[in-house]
Protein backbone atom coordinates (compact mmCIF):
# COMPACT_ATOMS: atom_id res chain seq x y z
CA UNK A 1 0.00 0.00 0.00
CA UNK A 2 2.86 2.36 0.87
CA UNK A 3 4.49 1.77 -2.53
CA UNK A 4 1.20 2.54 -4.29
CA UNK A 5 0.95 5.83 -2.38
CA UNK A 6 4.51 6.73 -3.38
CA UNK A 7 3.80 5.99 -7.05
CA UNK A 8 0.56 8.01 -7.02
CA UNK A 9 2.29 10.90 -5.31
CA UNK A 10 5.14 10.85 -7.83
CA UNK A 11 2.62 10.90 -10.69
CA UNK A 12 0.76 13.85 -9.13
CA UNK A 13 4.03 15.73 -8.63
CA UNK A 14 5.11 15.04 -12.22
CA UNK A 15 1.73 16.13 -13.63
CA UNK A 16 1.81 19.40 -11.67
CA UNK A 17 5.42 20.00 -12.74
CA UNK A 18 4.51 19.43 -16.39
CA UNK A 19 1.57 21.84 -16.41
CA UNK A 20 3.48 24.50 -14.48
CA UNK A 21 6.41 24.12 -16.87
CA UNK A 22 4.14 24.57 -19.89
CA UNK A 23 2.61 27.70 -18.42
CA UNK A 24 6.01 29.17 -17.55
CA UNK A 25 7.12 28.53 -21.13
CA UNK A 26 4.02 30.25 -22.56
CA UNK A 27 4.33 33.25 -20.24
CA UNK A 28 8.04 33.61 -20.99
CA UNK A 29 7.49 33.38 -24.76
CA UNK A 30 4.74 35.99 -24.75
CA UNK A 31 6.76 38.40 -22.61
CA UNK A 32 9.70 38.02 -25.01
CA UNK A 33 7.46 39.13 -27.88
CA UNK A 34 7.93 42.67 -26.56
CA UNK A 35 10.57 45.06 -27.78
CA UNK A 36 13.98 44.91 -26.18
CA UNK A 37 14.74 47.33 -23.37
CA UNK A 38 17.84 47.52 -21.19
CA UNK A 39 17.01 47.41 -17.48
CA UNK A 40 20.36 46.05 -16.29
CA UNK A 41 21.86 49.32 -15.03
CA UNK A 42 22.37 50.25 -11.34
CA UNK A 43 22.08 46.66 -10.02
CA UNK A 44 22.64 47.57 -6.35
CA UNK A 45 19.83 50.12 -6.45
CA UNK A 46 17.59 47.57 -8.15
CA UNK A 47 18.29 44.89 -5.53
CA UNK A 48 17.55 47.36 -2.74
CA UNK A 49 14.25 48.31 -4.39
CA UNK A 50 13.25 44.67 -4.85
CA UNK A 51 13.90 43.89 -1.19
CA UNK A 52 12.08 47.01 -0.03
CA UNK A 53 9.05 46.90 -2.34
CA UNK A 54 8.55 43.19 -3.15
CA UNK A 55 9.88 41.42 -0.06
CA UNK A 56 9.28 44.16 2.53
CA UNK A 57 6.01 45.30 0.89
CA UNK A 58 6.77 48.91 1.72
CA UNK A 59 3.91 50.41 -0.29
CA UNK A 60 1.35 48.04 1.22
CA UNK A 61 2.04 49.57 4.63
CA UNK A 62 0.86 52.97 3.42
CA UNK A 63 -2.39 51.53 4.78
CA UNK A 64 -1.02 49.87 7.96
CA UNK A 65 -3.86 47.50 8.88
CA UNK A 66 -4.36 46.20 5.34
CA UNK A 67 -0.59 46.03 4.91
CA UNK A 68 -0.23 43.92 8.05
CA UNK A 69 -2.98 41.51 6.98
CA UNK A 70 -1.51 41.17 3.51
CA UNK A 71 1.91 40.51 5.05
CA UNK A 72 0.45 37.72 7.20
CA UNK A 73 -0.93 35.97 4.08
CA UNK A 74 2.27 36.59 2.12
CA UNK A 75 4.62 35.45 4.91
CA UNK A 76 2.37 32.50 5.63
CA UNK A 77 2.47 31.45 1.99
CA UNK A 78 6.27 31.52 1.97
CA UNK A 79 6.94 29.97 5.37
CA UNK A 80 4.27 27.26 5.38
CA UNK A 81 5.80 25.95 2.18
CA UNK A 82 8.84 24.96 4.27
CA UNK A 83 6.57 22.41 5.95
CA UNK A 84 5.32 21.39 2.50
CA UNK A 85 8.90 20.32 1.75
CA UNK A 86 8.60 17.71 4.50
CA UNK A 87 5.23 16.56 3.14
CA UNK A 88 6.67 16.19 -0.36
CA UNK A 89 9.64 14.20 0.90
CA UNK A 90 7.33 12.01 3.00
CA UNK A 91 5.25 11.34 -0.10
CA UNK A 92 8.28 10.40 -2.19
CA UNK A 93 10.11 8.34 0.46
CA UNK A 94 7.10 6.75 2.14
CA UNK A 95 8.05 8.22 5.51
CA UNK A 96 6.01 10.17 8.07
CA UNK A 97 7.30 13.39 9.65
CA UNK A 98 10.74 12.82 8.21
CA UNK A 99 12.33 15.79 9.99
CA UNK A 100 11.00 14.95 13.49
CA UNK A 101 13.85 12.62 14.57
CA UNK A 102 16.42 14.84 12.84
CA UNK A 103 15.37 18.11 14.51
CA UNK A 104 14.43 16.64 17.89
CA UNK A 105 12.97 19.20 20.33
CA UNK A 106 13.17 21.92 17.68
CA UNK A 107 10.61 20.14 15.50
CA UNK A 108 7.50 20.90 17.65
CA UNK A 109 8.58 24.55 17.87
CA UNK A 110 8.77 24.78 14.09
CA UNK A 111 5.38 23.12 13.59
CA UNK A 112 3.85 25.43 16.19
CA UNK A 113 5.26 28.40 14.27
CA UNK A 114 3.86 27.07 10.98
CA UNK A 115 0.49 26.47 12.60
CA UNK A 116 0.46 30.02 13.94
CA UNK A 117 1.08 31.29 10.42
CA UNK A 118 -1.57 28.94 9.01
CA UNK A 119 -4.14 30.18 11.52
CA UNK A 120 -3.22 33.78 10.68
CA UNK A 121 -3.68 33.09 6.96
CA UNK A 122 -7.06 31.46 7.60
CA UNK A 123 -8.33 34.41 9.69
CA UNK A 124 -7.08 37.07 7.27
CA UNK A 125 -8.56 35.27 4.25
CA UNK A 126 -11.94 35.24 6.01
CA UNK A 127 -11.60 39.00 6.63
CA UNK A 128 -10.67 39.59 2.98
CA UNK A 129 -13.72 37.59 1.85
CA UNK A 130 -15.93 39.74 4.07
CA UNK A 131 -14.35 42.95 2.74
CA UNK A 132 -14.84 41.87 -0.85
CA UNK A 133 -18.33 40.37 -0.64
CA UNK A 134 -20.14 41.83 2.39
CA UNK A 135 -18.72 45.22 3.35
CA UNK A 136 -17.93 45.69 -0.36
CA UNK A 137 -14.79 47.82 -0.63
CA UNK A 138 -15.52 50.15 -3.54
CA UNK A 139 -12.38 49.54 -5.59
CA UNK A 140 -13.03 45.77 -5.52
CA UNK A 141 -16.62 45.85 -6.77
CA UNK A 142 -17.50 44.54 -10.22
CA UNK A 143 -20.71 46.61 -10.25
CA UNK A 144 -18.59 49.77 -10.19
CA UNK A 145 -15.61 48.52 -12.20
CA UNK A 146 -16.60 46.48 -15.25
CA UNK A 147 -13.12 45.00 -15.67
CA UNK A 148 -13.73 42.90 -12.53
CA UNK A 149 -16.84 41.19 -13.90
CA UNK A 150 -16.68 37.48 -14.67
CA UNK A 151 -13.46 35.57 -14.13
CA UNK A 152 -11.55 38.27 -12.15
CA UNK A 153 -14.24 38.33 -9.45
CA UNK A 154 -14.49 34.52 -9.38
CA UNK A 155 -10.69 34.24 -9.33
CA UNK A 156 -10.29 36.47 -6.27
CA UNK A 157 -12.88 34.51 -4.26
CA UNK A 158 -11.54 31.15 -5.48
CA UNK A 159 -8.05 31.96 -4.20
CA UNK A 160 -9.34 33.07 -0.80
CA UNK A 161 -11.59 30.01 -0.37
CA UNK A 162 -8.76 27.73 -1.51
CA UNK A 163 -6.34 29.13 1.06
CA UNK A 164 -8.92 28.73 3.84
CA UNK A 165 -9.56 25.10 2.84
CA UNK A 166 -5.84 24.31 2.57
CA UNK A 167 -5.15 25.76 6.02
CA UNK A 168 -8.08 23.82 7.51
CA UNK A 169 -6.81 20.53 6.08
CA UNK A 170 -3.33 21.26 7.44
CA UNK A 171 -4.61 21.94 10.96
CA UNK A 172 -7.11 19.07 11.02
CA UNK A 173 -4.45 16.67 9.67
CA UNK A 174 -2.16 17.63 12.56
CA UNK A 175 -5.03 17.23 15.04
CA UNK A 176 -5.86 13.70 13.83
CA UNK A 177 -2.15 12.90 13.78
CA UNK A 178 -1.83 14.04 17.39
CA UNK A 179 -4.66 11.72 18.55
CA UNK A 180 -3.09 8.81 16.69
CA UNK A 181 0.24 9.53 18.39
CA UNK A 182 -1.39 9.40 21.80
CA UNK A 183 -2.81 5.97 20.96
CA UNK A 184 0.62 4.65 20.02
CA UNK A 185 -0.40 3.77 16.48
CA UNK A 186 2.51 2.54 14.36
CA UNK A 187 3.94 5.03 11.90
CA UNK A 188 2.76 8.06 13.93
CA UNK A 189 5.84 9.21 15.84
CA UNK A 190 5.17 10.97 19.17
CA UNK A 191 5.95 14.66 18.66
CA UNK A 192 3.26 16.15 20.91
CA UNK A 193 0.23 18.37 20.48
CA UNK A 194 0.62 21.55 18.46
CA UNK A 195 -0.51 25.11 19.11
CA UNK A 196 -3.69 25.51 17.04
CA UNK A 197 -4.50 21.99 15.84
CA UNK A 198 -4.71 21.08 19.54
CA UNK A 199 -8.02 22.95 19.70
CA UNK A 200 -9.41 20.54 17.09
CA UNK A 201 -8.36 17.38 18.96
CA UNK A 202 -11.68 16.99 20.85
CA UNK A 203 -13.44 16.57 17.48
CA UNK A 204 -11.34 13.47 16.70
CA UNK A 205 -10.86 11.86 20.10
CA UNK A 206 -14.15 9.93 19.86
CA UNK A 207 -13.29 8.44 16.47
CA UNK A 208 -12.08 4.87 16.15
CA UNK A 209 -8.51 4.36 15.03
CA UNK A 210 -9.37 3.14 11.53
CA UNK A 211 -11.51 6.20 10.82
CA UNK A 212 -8.81 8.48 12.23
CA UNK A 213 -6.10 6.99 10.01
CA UNK A 214 -8.40 7.30 7.00
CA UNK A 215 -9.13 10.97 7.76
CA UNK A 216 -5.48 11.82 8.46
CA UNK A 217 -4.44 10.28 5.14
CA UNK A 218 -7.32 11.99 3.33
CA UNK A 219 -6.42 15.37 4.82
CA UNK A 220 -2.75 14.76 3.92
CA UNK A 221 -3.64 13.99 0.31
CA UNK A 222 -6.13 16.85 -0.02
CA UNK A 223 -3.62 19.30 1.45
CA UNK A 224 -0.75 18.36 -0.83
CA UNK A 225 -2.89 17.87 -3.95
CA UNK A 226 -4.57 21.18 -3.17
CA UNK A 227 -1.19 22.88 -3.03
CA UNK A 228 -0.13 21.32 -6.36
CA UNK A 229 -3.43 22.36 -7.97
CA UNK A 230 -3.05 25.83 -6.44
CA UNK A 231 0.46 26.12 -7.93
CA UNK A 232 -0.90 25.31 -11.40
CA UNK A 233 -3.92 27.59 -11.01
CA UNK A 234 -1.82 30.55 -9.86
CA UNK A 235 -0.17 30.70 -13.29
CA UNK A 236 -3.59 31.59 -14.75
CA UNK A 237 -4.56 33.89 -11.88
CA UNK A 238 -3.82 37.44 -10.80
CA UNK A 239 -1.89 35.77 -7.96
CA UNK A 240 0.93 35.15 -10.40
CA UNK A 241 2.26 38.35 -8.81
CA UNK A 242 3.38 36.18 -5.86
CA UNK A 243 6.29 35.13 -8.05
CA UNK A 244 6.60 37.97 -10.58
CA UNK A 245 6.62 40.78 -8.01
CA UNK A 246 10.31 40.16 -7.39
CA UNK A 247 11.65 40.43 -10.96
CA UNK A 248 9.07 43.10 -11.76
CA UNK A 249 10.26 45.41 -8.99
CA UNK A 250 13.90 44.62 -9.75
CA UNK A 251 13.43 45.84 -13.33
CA UNK A 252 11.47 48.94 -12.27
CA UNK A 253 12.05 52.25 -14.01
CA UNK A 254 14.57 54.06 -11.81
CA UNK A 255 14.10 57.46 -13.42
CA UNK A 256 11.91 60.18 -11.93
CA UNK A 257 8.24 59.36 -12.42
CA UNK A 258 7.55 62.60 -14.31
CA UNK A 259 10.24 61.83 -16.87
CA UNK A 260 8.79 60.47 -20.11
CA UNK A 261 10.96 58.61 -22.60
CA UNK A 262 11.06 60.26 -26.01
CA UNK A 263 10.90 58.27 -29.22
CA UNK A 264 14.48 58.24 -30.57
CA UNK A 265 13.34 58.53 -34.20
CA UNK A 266 11.22 61.60 -33.45
CA UNK A 267 13.95 63.17 -31.32
CA UNK A 268 16.40 62.76 -34.19
CA UNK A 269 13.99 64.39 -36.65
CA UNK A 270 13.56 67.38 -34.33
CA UNK A 271 17.32 67.75 -33.95
CA UNK A 272 17.77 67.62 -37.72
CA UNK A 273 15.03 70.24 -38.13
CA UNK A 274 16.79 72.50 -35.61
CA UNK A 275 20.15 71.96 -37.29
CA UNK A 276 21.61 70.13 -34.29
CA UNK A 277 22.24 66.90 -36.23
CA UNK A 278 22.80 65.80 -39.79
CA UNK A 279 20.64 63.13 -41.44
CA UNK A 280 22.01 59.60 -41.10
CA UNK A 281 22.47 58.09 -44.55
CA UNK A 282 22.33 54.56 -43.10
CA UNK A 283 19.00 55.12 -41.34
CA UNK A 284 15.97 53.30 -42.83
CA UNK A 285 13.83 55.37 -45.19
CA UNK A 286 10.72 54.79 -43.09
CA UNK A 287 10.13 54.18 -39.42
CA UNK A 288 8.37 50.85 -38.76
CA UNK A 289 5.70 52.18 -36.43
CA UNK A 290 5.14 55.12 -34.15
CA UNK A 291 3.95 54.03 -30.72
CA UNK A 292 2.21 50.73 -30.05
CA UNK A 293 -0.78 49.08 -31.67
CA UNK A 294 -0.37 45.58 -30.25
CA UNK A 295 1.71 43.83 -27.63
CA UNK A 296 4.71 43.31 -29.95
CA UNK A 297 5.12 47.09 -30.08
CA UNK A 298 5.37 47.36 -26.29
CA UNK A 299 8.52 46.49 -24.36
CA UNK A 300 9.05 43.18 -22.57
CA UNK A 301 8.87 45.10 -19.27
CA UNK A 302 5.41 46.46 -20.17
CA UNK A 303 4.30 42.88 -20.78
CA UNK A 304 5.82 41.65 -17.51
CA UNK A 305 3.91 44.46 -15.79
CA UNK A 306 0.67 43.07 -17.22
CA UNK A 307 1.34 39.56 -15.93
CA UNK A 308 2.37 40.98 -12.53
CA UNK A 309 -0.78 43.07 -11.94
CA UNK A 310 -2.52 42.20 -8.66
CA UNK A 311 -5.86 43.77 -9.73
CA UNK A 312 -5.95 45.53 -6.35
CA UNK A 313 -7.34 48.68 -7.93
CA UNK A 314 -5.18 51.12 -5.99
CA UNK A 315 -4.17 52.73 -9.28
CA UNK A 316 -7.76 53.21 -10.40
CA UNK A 317 -8.87 54.47 -6.98
CA UNK A 318 -6.33 57.32 -7.27
CA UNK A 319 -6.80 58.10 -10.98
CA UNK A 320 -8.31 61.61 -11.32
CA UNK A 321 -9.80 60.73 -14.71
CA UNK A 322 -11.60 57.70 -13.27
CA UNK A 323 -12.73 59.63 -10.20
CA UNK A 324 -14.43 62.21 -12.43
CA UNK A 325 -16.33 59.56 -14.37
CA UNK A 326 -14.08 59.19 -17.41
CA UNK A 327 -13.74 55.82 -19.16
CA UNK A 328 -10.12 55.33 -18.10
CA UNK A 329 -9.21 52.72 -15.47
CA UNK A 330 -5.45 52.03 -15.18
CA UNK A 331 -6.26 48.60 -13.74
CA UNK A 332 -8.31 47.80 -16.85
CA UNK A 333 -5.36 48.85 -19.05
CA UNK A 334 -3.18 46.24 -17.34
CA UNK A 335 -5.88 43.56 -17.35
CA UNK A 336 -6.64 44.16 -21.03
CA UNK A 337 -2.94 43.87 -21.88
CA UNK A 338 -2.73 40.56 -19.99
CA UNK A 339 -5.91 39.28 -21.69
CA UNK A 340 -4.38 40.08 -25.07
CA UNK A 341 -1.16 38.33 -24.01
CA UNK A 342 -3.16 35.24 -23.02
CA UNK A 343 -4.95 35.29 -26.38
CA UNK A 344 -1.64 35.57 -28.24
CA UNK A 345 -0.21 32.77 -26.07
CA UNK A 346 -3.08 30.44 -27.03
CA UNK A 347 -2.56 31.39 -30.66
CA UNK A 348 1.14 30.48 -30.46
CA UNK A 349 0.41 27.20 -28.68
CA UNK A 350 -2.04 26.19 -31.42
CA UNK A 351 0.47 27.11 -34.13
CA UNK A 352 3.61 25.36 -32.81
CA UNK A 353 5.13 28.43 -31.18
CA UNK A 354 4.47 30.84 -34.04
CA UNK A 355 1.98 33.70 -33.89
CA UNK A 356 -0.53 33.69 -36.74
CA UNK A 357 -2.20 37.06 -37.37
CA UNK A 358 -5.70 36.94 -35.90
CA UNK A 359 -6.82 40.35 -37.12
CA UNK A 360 -6.96 41.73 -33.57
CA UNK A 361 -4.87 44.25 -31.67
CA UNK A 362 -4.57 45.71 -28.19
CA UNK A 363 -5.58 49.15 -29.44
CA UNK A 364 -9.15 49.07 -30.70
CA UNK A 365 -10.14 45.53 -29.74
CA UNK A 366 -9.24 45.84 -26.06
CA UNK A 367 -8.42 49.46 -25.23
CA UNK A 368 -10.43 52.29 -26.75
CA UNK A 369 -9.41 55.74 -27.97
CA UNK A 370 -11.69 57.29 -25.34
CA UNK A 371 -9.78 55.61 -22.52
CA UNK A 372 -6.42 56.80 -23.84
CA UNK A 373 -7.54 60.40 -24.31
CA UNK A 374 -8.81 60.56 -20.71
CA UNK A 375 -5.32 60.08 -19.22
CA UNK A 376 -3.76 63.23 -17.73
CA UNK A 377 -0.28 61.60 -17.40
CA UNK A 378 -0.25 62.61 -13.71
CA UNK A 379 1.54 59.37 -12.64
CA UNK A 380 -0.87 58.77 -9.74
CA UNK A 381 -1.32 55.16 -10.90
CA UNK A 382 2.43 54.57 -11.04
CA UNK A 383 2.97 56.11 -7.62
CA UNK A 384 0.22 54.02 -6.03
CA UNK A 385 1.05 50.56 -7.43
CA UNK A 386 2.42 48.29 -4.67
CA UNK A 387 4.82 46.52 -7.08
CA UNK A 388 5.90 49.44 -9.31
CA UNK A 389 3.76 48.66 -12.36
CA UNK A 390 3.45 51.52 -14.85
CA UNK A 391 0.11 51.63 -16.72
CA UNK A 392 1.17 55.06 -17.96
CA UNK A 393 3.96 53.66 -20.16
CA UNK A 394 1.44 51.48 -22.01
CA UNK A 395 -1.06 54.35 -22.29
CA UNK A 396 1.59 56.66 -23.75
CA UNK A 397 2.73 54.11 -26.34
CA UNK A 398 -0.84 53.40 -27.45
CA UNK A 399 -1.67 57.09 -27.57
CA UNK A 400 1.37 57.77 -29.72
CA UNK A 401 0.09 55.20 -32.19
CA UNK A 402 -3.42 56.61 -31.97
CA UNK A 403 -2.26 60.13 -32.85
CA UNK A 404 0.79 59.61 -35.05
CA UNK A 405 -0.43 56.60 -37.05
CA UNK A 406 -4.22 56.92 -36.93
CA UNK A 407 -4.32 60.75 -36.82
CA UNK A 408 -7.05 60.33 -34.23
CA UNK A 409 -6.77 63.44 -32.06
CA UNK A 410 -9.13 66.30 -31.14
CA UNK A 411 -8.99 69.36 -33.41
CA UNK A 412 -7.36 71.49 -30.73
CA UNK A 413 -4.57 68.93 -30.36
CA UNK A 414 -3.98 68.82 -34.12
CA UNK A 415 -3.71 72.61 -34.20
CA UNK A 416 -1.11 72.50 -31.44
CA UNK A 417 0.85 69.73 -33.22
CA UNK A 418 0.81 71.73 -36.45
CA UNK A 419 2.13 74.81 -34.66
CA UNK A 420 4.87 72.77 -32.99
CA UNK A 421 5.93 71.36 -36.35
CA UNK A 422 5.88 74.68 -38.21
CA UNK A 423 6.66 77.24 -35.49
CA UNK A 424 8.46 75.16 -32.83
CA UNK A 425 5.88 76.40 -30.32
CA UNK A 426 2.24 75.60 -29.47
CA UNK A 427 1.11 79.06 -30.62
CA UNK A 428 0.35 80.18 -34.16
CA UNK A 429 2.93 82.88 -34.75
CA UNK A 430 6.32 83.02 -36.41
CA UNK A 431 9.37 82.03 -34.35
CA UNK A 432 10.85 85.40 -35.33
CA UNK A 433 8.03 87.16 -33.47
CA UNK A 434 8.38 85.08 -30.33
CA UNK A 435 9.89 87.88 -28.20
CA UNK A 436 7.71 90.72 -29.48
CA UNK A 437 5.71 90.62 -26.27
CA UNK A 438 8.82 91.75 -24.36
CA UNK A 439 9.25 94.82 -26.64
CA UNK A 440 5.60 95.79 -26.13
CA UNK A 441 5.92 95.43 -22.37
CA UNK A 442 9.04 97.60 -22.43
**CA-based end-to-end distance of the chain:** 101
- Residue 252 above 90 pLDDT? yes
pLDDT tens sequence across 91-138: 888 888 888 888 888 988 988 998 999 999 999 999 999 999 998 888
Q: Find all residues with CB under 8 Å of 343, minimum gap 6, and list them.
A: 358, 360
pLDDT tens sequence across 1-25: 678 888 888 999 999 999 999 999 9
Q: What is the pLDDT of residue 384?
A: 93
DSSP annotation string for 150-206: THHHHHHHHHHHHHHHHHHHHHHHHHHHHHHHHTT-TT-------TTGGGGHHHHTT
Please report which confidence band the pLDDT of residue 438 belongs to, taking 50, 70 and 90 as the band edges.
low
Spatial separation of the C-alpha atoms in residues 349 and 30, rounded to whole Å: 11
Please report which confidence band the pLDDT of residue 436 belongs to, taking 50, 70 and 90 as the band edges.
confident
In total, the chain counts a number of residues equal to 442
388 or 412, greater pLDDT:
388
Domain ranges of the chain: 2-31+63-250, 410-442
pLDDT tens sequence across 164-190: 999 999 999 999 999 999 888 888 888
- Residue 441 above 60 pLDDT? no
pLDDT tens sequence across 48-73: 999 999 988 889 888 888 889 988 88
Q: What is the pLDDT of residue 104?
A: 87
Listed residue (154, 184, 138, 99) closest to 331, CA to CA: 138
The HSE-up count of residue 55 (CA atoms within 13 Å, CB side) is: 9
pLDDT tens sequence across 311-363: 999 999 999 999 999 999 999 999 999 999 999 999 999 998 888 989 999 99
438 or 263, greater pLDDT:
263
Q: What is the pLDDT of residue 424?
A: 75
Asked whether 245 and 54 are in contact (CB, 8 A), the reply is yes
pLDDT tens sequence across 274-316: 777 777 666 655 666 788 999 999 999 999 999 999 999 999 9
Lowest-confidence region among 222-231, 251-260, 383-392: 251-260
Amino acid sequence: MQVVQQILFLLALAAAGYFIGQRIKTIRNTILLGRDEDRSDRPEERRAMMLRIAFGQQKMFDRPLIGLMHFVVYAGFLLINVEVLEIVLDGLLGTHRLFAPILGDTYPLLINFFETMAFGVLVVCVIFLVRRNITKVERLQSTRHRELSGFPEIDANTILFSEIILMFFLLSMNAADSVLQSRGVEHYHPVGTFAFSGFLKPIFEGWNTTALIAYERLAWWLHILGILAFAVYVTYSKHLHIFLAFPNTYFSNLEAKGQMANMPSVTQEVKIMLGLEQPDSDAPAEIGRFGAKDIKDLTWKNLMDAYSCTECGRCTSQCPANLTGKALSPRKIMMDTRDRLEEVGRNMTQNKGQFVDDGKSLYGDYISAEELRACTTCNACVQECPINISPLEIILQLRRYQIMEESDAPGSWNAMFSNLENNQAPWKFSPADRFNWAQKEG
